[in-house]
Amino acid sequence: MGIDLSVEIGKLKLKTPVLVASGTFGYEENYEELIEKNRLGALVTKTITLNPRPGNPPPRIVETASGILNSIGLQNEGIEEFLDKKLPFLLKFKIPLIVSIGGERIEDYGLLAKRLDRIKEISCLEVNISCPNIETEGGCLFAQDCYLTYGVVKAVRESTYKTIIAKLSPNVTDIVSIAQSAFDGGADALALVNTFFGMEIDVQTRRSKLGSLYGGLSGPAIKPIALYMVYKVSKAVNLPIIGMGGIVSADDALQFFIAGATSVAVGTGNFINPQITREIVEGIEEYLKKNKYTSIKDIIGTIDEKTDK
Amino acid sequence: MSEIGKIFYLKTRIISHLNIAPQHFKMILEAPQIAKEAKPGQFIHVKVSEGINPLLRRPFSIHRVIDKEIEILYKIRGKGTEILSQRKEGELLDIIGPLGNGFPFGEEQNKNILLVAGGIGIAPLIFLAEKLREIKNQKSKIKIIALLGAKTKDFVLCEKELKDLCTEVKISTEDGSYGFKGLVTELLKNSLTPDYSSLTTLYTAGPLLMLQEIKKIANIFKILVFASLEENIACGLGGCLGCVIKTKQGYKRVCKDGPVFNLEEVLWE
């Protein structure tokens, strides 16, 4: 008997529970074969904003111990050019499309959601309120404040019936209260976590190793912290979670499912191995088969919390 | 710009790995698919070790293609190249390639060709010189002149290969231990005469300061320059937008829009 890997995220049905994190996978001709063969549950776009953004000055990537620090700065062509030039390519594939949206003001998110709501091939919106490389009107990330989180998600909710995923930041004191605010605003699912604020300094010049002063840390270095946050939120908030943060193996991914994630996303791992998502899907299947489960759902949130070893 | 061919994800066998100068290595890999598709100026993206230390791949220009094998030439610069230098013949190396655009050249090739290399910057220029030599063999009026700069005599790389391929080879060392004493950019200035002008194409790779100086010289002599540039490259496939440089047309990705750029387009701070 085959293994059932399908999961539901709001109204969205995924054939496999493995996605790519926004901004870590391209959509040009050289990615076509990878998209077709990687057994992705859905395609997630790079974050799109209302107007084009040039992005931050280089260097934008610095390698750190088991991680990378990035300051890309949401470089993108803006919503209209995205719809015109990039969307047709993304619609060639027979997998659901999740469009990530970002902005500097709450209204931006509402406007973007309204514009995308008219396009029926787009299955779902991921609301990126946690990019560490963007200046917002609140002076902090939207996802660092319960009211702003609620406000952005609500603005999107009022503009679309599509499934909404709120992408949260780990740079908070209480991730559960932020997750609850996203739920209250009308989110159908949560994606956690985005990158951690971080910096690297060149001791000779005493300047940042990035073109910006600081950036977002990702990769295996953050995995245990991301896993902890997924676990905490899954216990407290009744929404499906897309778990992410340093996943580079099937074992990493399985830990997120057991902690309570319904789906997982791979980000930095794609840079190391562009076929990593397929290998992770195969590894999950193997684990389920070996342990006599028939569905990925059999292991979601099944952590054994006994500690007296 | 040359058309981008197919990209291969391979575990290739290390056929040979030689220490050719202090801190400098030449590695030969068995990669028939890449050998068949590769164009001069393109690179391979190498996972130097298993596991997550270091995390990212490292990009290396394709130095030569011989039959079913490809070569890379590299210098130990940090953790990644240090680990790579310890890899042994017979081991498998995880590589992706060929990537990037490559040097533009072809039938309408300019009459005078200058190859200017600073140190390890010679790596992509040998593959290019081999292709240019094929064109020259059909169209004998082309002159290929190579200018090779190194710190000292010990670090003069690929002199023999260049002598076999080029019309003329000039060498500079910073300490004067071999050839012209000084920087390769000074040697370039000395070598240029007004008749070089618009009929010359200069191909180059090397340290940033050298490239910046070449850009100034090329401006004066109205020479077309194509340079292979470097940045910290993460995905290597154009997806992450991590390796951009500033150009007249905005930020461009070194891994996908480059690594070869017309230097006139590049804006350095």
Model confidence over B76-104: pLDDT tens digits? 999 999 999 999 999 999 999 999 999 99
**Cα–Cα dist B260/B243, whole Å:** 13
List CB contacts (< 8 A) between A31 and chain B: 237, 239
Asked if the Cβ–Cβ distance from A271 to B235 is below 8 Å, we say yes
For chain B, state the CA radius of gyration.
18
Asked if the Cβ–Cβ distance from A75 to B244 is below 8 Å, we say yes
Q: Element (H or E) spanning B4, and its range?
A: none
CATH architecture of the domain with range B112-265: 3-Layer(aba) Sandwich (3.40)
| Contact of B28 with B70, CB cutoff 8 Å | yes
- Domain residue spans in chain B? 2-99, 112-265
pLDDT for position B109: 63
**Cα–Cα dist B70/B123, whole Å:** 12
Q: Show Cβ contacts of residue B137 under 8 Å, excluding neighbours closer than 6 positions.
A: none
Q: Assign domain B2-99 to its CATH superfamily.
A: Translation factors (2.40.30.10)
A 75-104 residues inside an 8 A Cβ radius of B: 75
Pseudo-torsion of CA A177, A179, A180, A186, nearest 10°? 150
Q: Which of A31, A61, A272 minimises the CB distance to B47?
A: A272
Residues of chain B with pLDDT under 50: 1-4
Give A76's strand partners: A53
> B75, B79, B80, B10: which is closest to B38 by C-alpha?
B10
**Cα–Cα dist A275/A39, whole Å:** 10
Q: Which of A26, A55, A275 minimises the CB distance to B238?
A: A26
DSSP type of residue B121: G
Q: Show Cβ contacts of residue A203 under 8 Å, excluding neighbours closer than 6 positions.
A: none
| Contact of B7 with B237, CB cutoff 8 Å | yes
> A168, A31, A26, A12: which is closest to A97 by C-alpha?
A12
Asked if the Cβ–Cβ distance from B244 to A58 is below 8 Å, we say yes
Asked if the Cβ–Cβ distance from B231 to A58 is below 8 Å, we say yes
Chain B residues interacting with chain A (CB cutoff of 8 angstroms): 4, 7, 9, 47, 52-57, 96, 231-246, 250-251, 256, 269
Asked if the Cβ–Cβ distance from B243 to A63 is below 8 Å, we say no
CA angle A179, A180, A182 (to 5 degrees): 65
Q: Which residue has the tokens 């130095």?
A: B63
Among chain B residues, CA nearest to A247: B52
pLDDT for position B200: 85
Count of C-beta atoms within a 10 Å radius of residue A181: 24
**Cα–Cα dist A277/B124, whole Å:** 33
**A220 touches B at CB < 8 Å:** yes
Give strand ranges (E) for chain B.
Answer: 8-21, 24-30, 43-47, 58-61, 64-66, 69-75, 92-99, 112-118, 143-150, 168-173, 180-181, 200-205, 224-228, 244-247, 250-253, 260-262
Does residue A131 carry a catalytic annotation? yes
Asked if the Cβ–Cβ distance from A23 to B240 is below 8 Å, we say yes
Asked if B2-99 and B112-265 have one fold, the answer is no
List CB contacts (< 8 A) between A133 and chain B: none
List CB contacts (< 8 A) between A61 and chain B: 56, 232-234, 240, 242-243
**A26 touches B at CB < 8 Å:** yes
**Domains (ranges, CATH) in chain A?**
7-56+73-196+217-298 (3.20.20.70)
Asked if the Cβ–Cβ distance from A31 to B237 is below 8 Å, we say yes
Q: Kindly report the average pLDDT of chain A as a whole number.
A: 95
pLDDT for position B230: 93
pLDDT for position A4: 97
Distance of residue A73 Cα from the nearest chain B Cα, in angstroms: 10
The interface predicted TM-score of the complex, written ipTM, equals 0.93
Distance of residue A216 Cα from the nearest chain B Cα, in angstroms: 12
pTM value is 0.94
Residues of chain A with pLDDT under 70: 1, 138, 309
